[in-house]
Chains A and B, each alone.
Chain A
């Protein structure tokens, strides 16, 4: 309700008055009804004025009037709103529209139709909510909605390791074709590093350890099957009906699965995204991450096209298990969008492991050779390998979903357009997760799912908060990042202090391996708040989580410094960085010149 405060903080509020006029000009019957409600509301306000903790929407009107008369404002907190007709009233659309358009009240949504909410009133619909797609977001939204008392169904396609128009599986990309299987493979690929390290610690092997790809894939698939079972039972325990089959929207309130029509008050689209391959000759010869996680055998040499995190993670997996890896990156650097120093650092680390990068090379074709190998053709030559994998992007699964029939709007990239509450342009159709192409991460889809359920069924309008979301890339060594990159921070805050530290992890001192850890903290000079952290090194994703809490909570560098380190850990470095490596000052606002003053890095001891 912060906007109310903001709204009335300005003395004369034209949009507000306009909206008030709009509000007092409804159809006759409804108008009288509302007028009565308004009067009662004002009366009630007088009664409840002293205990302003949680007042109903009707009282909000009272406050509104009081504001006009008395010319001062009062913050009103609304969680569960009951108007004076005894039915539940959701303030969400009213509030959200007001926020997004700043045009005042949305009269239609103000009416006490009770169209939202998981209340028990007889409806003609089969379900309160039908979610299409049982990935991380869909399952979370379904379970939460069910917890709020809604009758929920989720439809999902049958399981197959490789996704297609007919195959998917409960659990979705993260569990079946993303985070989970990938990390399991990363674990496997990390062991040679352990074997190598262990020698310096006194361990020796009679015979070189050999990797058996089939064992790994078999065990991985067994684990995935177990997880599918876990997800199914989670849904079942929450009382959510699982419908197997491809869900398609027939109209705004109908989902069709295998020819059967299911009606729903709300529809949630959480169908995710899929890996895409650019339209070049020979694209049928290439695989994507889906197949790479489920290969019958490990290639001896692989060409990976793409410089994003998926490309790098797979490069690390294959290289770790003994495959010769070539990575083709169109840009001059890997990991576009990440902090520049991290981009350089990780590339150097991966190159040291023997991964070959072809920077600035864009494949123009993929050819199949007679001996069963494939050639990646670029402007500067040809690279022959056993397998070609494209990690060139993912696209939302919006095709053939019936979105056109329901009139759901898509953006230019083909993602579903949603408002800040994950609602599409159709009143009762929602979309979350990768299909909306906001931030395509599992925990973000979970957050969106939870917020959607709270908004639609918990009478608690909740917007997902996209500020300071930490994420990790599971390369060897892994990367973890939260907040602004140095470049973005300069843009946003102007004056920043940058603290960096590069050190040899303690384990490497005995193993003798050429490993390094890099850590970086970006501080807004004006507020002393930590606005960005970037690190690359062993365990950095685990290290980052606690720091993400601190950064999200808006803590200052001073608060970091006053925390005593845990010795000996890598993480203690982050609370012992005393001297900025550089201070960047926009001395002259008009000319925008940057003053990069270098200072020596803090001593290691």
Chain B
């Protein structure tokens, strides 16, 4: 197997290639069969490597001893969540159908158990599909808890207690992450999204703590099914990090669908009371609920897999530290997906997996292309594009270096280019900022979808980010309209679409869609944005009539123009 390391000296560290190389049972041993792990093992096997994968036994709720082929996305994330969302969206459809002439005499009932049974059936099926995919790719599957013993040995402890050791040339950690609980009195009474997708009884009263997309999604799910839902979050709006204007609309829609939002509020205590759980907020108010869900974040799963045995370095947040080829500090160990806490999205884990397999088993060193999908995190830590005159060139380079190297978001060449640039005499800060601006803007896009009802999806910069990061004025196009279906159904819910454009370059920097089918609508827009499409190109496109999406290509007049200083002008 030819191997090409981008830094050949690492090859020597291994000393495992060429004559006298140790014979390992496997070329690759993967710990964790989620989206990333499965893709990595299948792709590696496809390149001819001998691959094994180990995963905990299947259960809808993840623990230290349960998991399942398919991982978070398939068993406890994207897929079951979307199934529940479909189920919950029907209630609105039934309401809407009335004015379209549909009479539903008699009761319409919803059976939670029926849904959960069908959902479990479907994810079990998918679990089986993954098993088949793996064995079809000639990947050995082990069920049990895997532990790294040394650089080239993994021990699998089966459910029965039997344990067996396997030698392997490389180890890939793809163990993902798990939801965390807030550390408050009574936290053991709370559930996370795992349980939320598999509750035995339908919770008629729900308290959700958190304002992120998971919290908003579950509020929509339970609310649509008829539960009384209270959502608590610290920020003034839900979905911090999304476009603020869109977030306010999301909050409005939640309220419009009967979900009670409590901004600036924390839950500080949980108590068991007769018939439920009592949640106390920091304002002293008490809420009784059948279920209290924490949607306050997720943590990489790095415990009990023997990372300490080989000295794999973790970051301050507990994620495995990796370089841009997903290598850990230990030469024979790699890590991908949520456990590395880079961008915790299924398609990103898949991309990392493919790059890993290509690099290690196809002699084709490939880096995951974060340049094109940098997360919102990137924008939070990147210093403002505006360079004060006081900022020295040196400091700027340090900032650039820090941003790029620490976060692995830009290729090293970019830093070198910046350095080279500084060596030229007649280069001033303005030039650097322009070049940096060019290198970064328009190429970094984050595509994110929140499954609130109706959904919100965004791509590129939010308005706030654009104001902060872009040197030029921006034009903001906002269109808020009544979707055609609502004209008959009478549903009082506006769809909102937003496009942010750089005045000088005419490039579309960001787009956001709130309304039915938003997630489907934004995918094509994402391609256009990623390829640096201009507003003129949007305008050149003929609409598809009658759709909601056509609004995106028919926004002729900007709603406002905003300067980098944040001054707003009517256009």
- Chain B proximity mask over A552-581: 1 for CB below 8 Å, otherwise 0: 110100011011111111111011000000
In whole Å, how far is A113's beta carbon from the nearest beta carbon of chain B?
31
In whole Å, how far is A210's beta carbon from the nearest beta carbon of chain B?
5
Are B102 and A202 within 8 A (Cβ)?
Answer: no
Are A545 and B521 within 8 A (Cβ)?
Answer: yes
Query: Which residues of chain A are within 8 angstroms of B540 by Cβ–Cβ distance?
Result: 465, 552-553
Interface residue ranges of B70-118 to A (CB < 8 Å): 73, 78-79, 82-83, 86-87, 90, 93-94, 96-97, 99-115, 118
- Distance in angstroms between the alpha carbons of A442 and B87 in the assembled complex: 35
Instruction: Give the nearest-CB partner of A553 in chain B.
Output: B537
Are B78 and A201 within 8 A (Cβ)?
Answer: no
Are B100 and A550 within 8 A (Cβ)?
Answer: no
Query: Which residues of chain B are within 8 angstroms of A382 by Cβ–Cβ distance?
Result: none
Label chain A's interface by main secondary structure. helix
In whole Å, how far is A217's beta carbon from the nearest beta carbon of chain B?
8
A100 contacts the other chain (CB 8 A) = no
Instruction: Give the nearest-CB partner of A605 in chain B.
Output: B133
B457 contacts the other chain (CB 8 A) = yes
In whole Å, how far is B104's beta carbon from the nearest beta carbon of chain A?
5
Are A564 and B87 within 8 A (Cβ)?
Answer: no
Query: Which residues of chain A are within 8 angstroms of B528 by Cβ–Cβ distance?
Result: 546, 549-550, 553, 555
Known: A209-B102, A211-B101, A567-B78. A544 touches B114 (CB 8 A): no
Are A203 and B109 within 8 A (Cβ)?
Answer: yes
B524 contacts the other chain (CB 8 A) = yes
In whole Å, how far is B44's beta carbon from the nearest beta carbon of chain A?
15
Known: A510-B86, A546-B524, A571-B523. A191 touches B109 (CB 8 A): no
Binds B, one of A71-79, A178-186, A276-284, A594-602: A178-186
In whole Å, how far is B108's beta carbon from the nearest beta carbon of chain A?
6
Interface residue ranges of A199-225 to B (CB < 8 Å): 200-207, 209-216, 219-220, 223
- Distance in angstroms between the alpha carbons of A131 and B460 in the assembled complex: 42
- Distance in angstroms between the alpha carbons of A219 and B98 in the assembled complex: 11
Query: Which residues of chain A are within 8 angstroms of B106 by Cβ–Cβ distance?
Result: 205-207
A480 contacts the other chain (CB 8 A) = yes
B550 contacts the other chain (CB 8 A) = yes
Are A549 and B541 within 8 A (Cβ)?
Answer: yes
Known: A220-B488, A541-B547. A565 touches B118 (CB 8 A): no
- Chain B proximity mask over A229-264: 1 for CB below 8 Å, otherwise 0: 000000000000000000000000000000000000
Known: A201-B86, A548-B541, A564-B351. A559 touches B530 (CB 8 A): yes
Query: Which residues of chain B are within 8 angstroms of A210 by Cβ–Cβ distance?
Result: 102-103, 105
Are A202 and B544 within 8 A (Cβ)?
Answer: no
Label chain B's interface by main secondary structure. helix
A9 contacts the other chain (CB 8 A) = no
Are B541 and A180 within 8 A (Cβ)?
Answer: no
A471 contacts the other chain (CB 8 A) = yes
Are B105 and A207 within 8 A (Cβ)?
Answer: yes
Query: Which residues of chain A are within 8 angstroms of B30 by Cβ–Cβ distance?
Result: none
Query: Which residues of chain B are within 8 angstroms of A3 by Cβ–Cβ distance?
Result: none
In whole Å, how far is B500's beta carbon from the nearest beta carbon of chain A?
15
Binds A, one of B204-212, B292-300, B342-350, B404-412: B342-350
Query: Which residues of chain B are within 8 angstroms of A544 by Cβ–Cβ distance?
Result: 524, 544, 549
Instruction: Give the nearest-CB partner of B549 in chain A.
Output: A545
In whole Å, how far is A547's beta carbon from the nearest beta carbon of chain B?
3
Interface residue ranges of B349-399 to A (CB < 8 Å): 351, 369, 372-373
Give the residue of A180, A200, A545 whose beta carbon is less than 8 angstroms from that of B550: A545
In whole Å, how far is A154's beta carbon from the nearest beta carbon of chain B?
20
- Distance in angstroms between the alpha carbons of A216 and B99 in the assembled complex: 7
Query: Which residues of chain B are within 8 angstroms of A179 by Cβ–Cβ distance?
Result: 545-546
Are B544 and A553 within 8 A (Cβ)?
Answer: no
Give the residue of B93, B485, B523 whose beta carbon is less than 8 angstroms from that of A566: B523
Known: A201-B115, A204-B109, A211-B102. A542 touches B484 (CB 8 A): no
Instruction: Give the nearest-CB partner of A210 in chain B.
Output: B103
- Distance in angstroms between the alpha carbons of A216 and B531 in the assembled complex: 44
Query: Which residues of chain B are within 8 angstroms of A575 by Cβ–Cβ distance?
Result: 523, 526-527
A129 contacts the other chain (CB 8 A) = no
- Chain A proximity mask over B174-203: 1 for CB below 8 Å, otherwise 0: 000000000000000000000000000000
- Distance in angstroms between the alpha carbons of A330 and B522 in the assembled complex: 39
B40 contacts the other chain (CB 8 A) = no
In whole Å, how far is B557's beta carbon from the nearest beta carbon of chain A?
11
B237 contacts the other chain (CB 8 A) = no
- Distance in angstroms between the alpha carbons of A121 and B533 in the assembled complex: 41
B538 contacts the other chain (CB 8 A) = yes
Are A188 and B102 within 8 A (Cβ)?
Answer: yes
In whole Å, how far is A436's beta carbon from the nearest beta carbon of chain B?
16
Instruction: Give the nearest-CB partner of B202 in chain A.
Output: A202
- Distance in angstroms between the alpha carbons of A574 and B351 in the assembled complex: 16
Known: A205-B108, A469-B542, A569-B519. A553 touches B524 (CB 8 A): no
- Distance in angstroms between the alpha carbons of A211 and B533 in the assembled complex: 46
Instruction: Give the nearest-CB partner of B519 in chain A.
Output: A569
Query: Which residues of chain B are within 8 angstroms of A545 by Cβ–Cβ distance?
Result: 521, 524-525, 541, 543-544, 547, 549-550, 552-553
B517 contacts the other chain (CB 8 A) = yes
Are B485 and A549 within 8 A (Cβ)?
Answer: no
Instruction: Give the nearest-CB partner of A568 in chain B.
Output: B78
B520 contacts the other chain (CB 8 A) = yes
- Distance in angstroms between the alpha carbons of A206 and B488 in the assembled complex: 25
Query: Which residues of chain B are within 8 angstroms of A378 by Cβ–Cβ distance?
Result: none
Are B521 and A548 within 8 A (Cβ)?
Answer: no
19 further interface pairs, Cβ-Cβ under 8 Å (given A506-B79, A562-B530): A184-B487, A201-B83, A203-B110, A205-B104, A205-B106, A209-B97, A219-B99, A472-B544, A510-B118, A545-B544, A545-B553, A549-B541, A553-B540, A564-B372, A566-B523, A567-B346, A568-B346, A569-B520, A574-B523
* A-B contacts, 23 listed (Cβ < 8 Å): A187-B485, A188-B97, A188-B100, A188-B101, A191-B100, A194-B97, A201-B115, A202-B87, A209-B104, A214-B101, A215-B100, A443-B544, A443-B550, A480-B544, A549-B553, A552-B541, A553-B541, A555-B528, A565-B523, A566-B347, A566-B522, A567-B347, A574-B523
Nearest 7 A/B pairs, CB to CB: A546-B524, A206-B106, A545-B549, A202-B115, A547-B524, A571-B523, A216-B101
